[in-house]
């Protein structure tokens, strides 16, 4: 895979493009909008298919931090590769599953 095709490298290029269009006094962009969040982070969650799923991307000129559910933190970390770029909200336990595990 070409390095620009890597989702995180592509997101870095996209974020740079966005901030190049914005005035210098804008230091951050916050979005919970699915296409914008994915554009800025490079992370696509299966949970995003649910309208009730809440998550956000907080982008600065230097980085994008994802705010996701605790259940989504692991997969997001696997893609983004840096724990500082993933902020988990909530607590994920087996009680959150639709049916109990054996």
In Å, the largest CA–CA distance within the chain is 55
Give the separation between CA 69 and CA 13, rounded to whole angstroms. 26
What pLDDT is stored for residue 1 in this prediction?
Answer: 47
What pLDDT is stored for residue 102 in this prediction?
Answer: 44
Instruction: Give mean pLDDT in consecutive 10-residue pieces for the chain, a chain of 102 residues.
Output: 67 94 96 90 84 88 92 90 89 50 44
Give the separation between CA 28 and CA 46, rounded to whole angstroms. 26
Give the separation between CA 67 and CA 64, rounded to whole angstroms. 10
Tokens of 88: 């988990």
Give the separation between CA 80 and CA 101, rounded to whole angstroms. 29
Q: What SS3 string covers 86-98?
A: EEEECCCCHHHCC
What pLDDT is stored for residue 101 in this prediction?
Answer: 43
Q: Distances in Å between the alpha carbon of 90 and those of 37, 67, 97?
A: 19, 10, 14
pTM, to two decimals? 0.77
């Amino acid at each position: 895979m070409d390095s620009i095709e890597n989702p995180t490298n592509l997101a870095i290029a996209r974020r740079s493009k966005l901030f190049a269009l914005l005035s210098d006094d804008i230091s951050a962009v916050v979005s919970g909008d699915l296409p914008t969040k994915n554009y800025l982070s490079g992370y696509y969650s299966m949970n995003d298919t649910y309208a009730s799923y809440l998550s956000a991307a907080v982008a600065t000129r230097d980085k994008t931090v994802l705010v996701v559910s605790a259940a989504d933190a692991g997969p997001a970390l696997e893609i983004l590769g840096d724990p500082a770029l993933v902020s988990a909200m909530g607590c994920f336990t087996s009680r959150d599953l639709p049916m109990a595990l054996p």
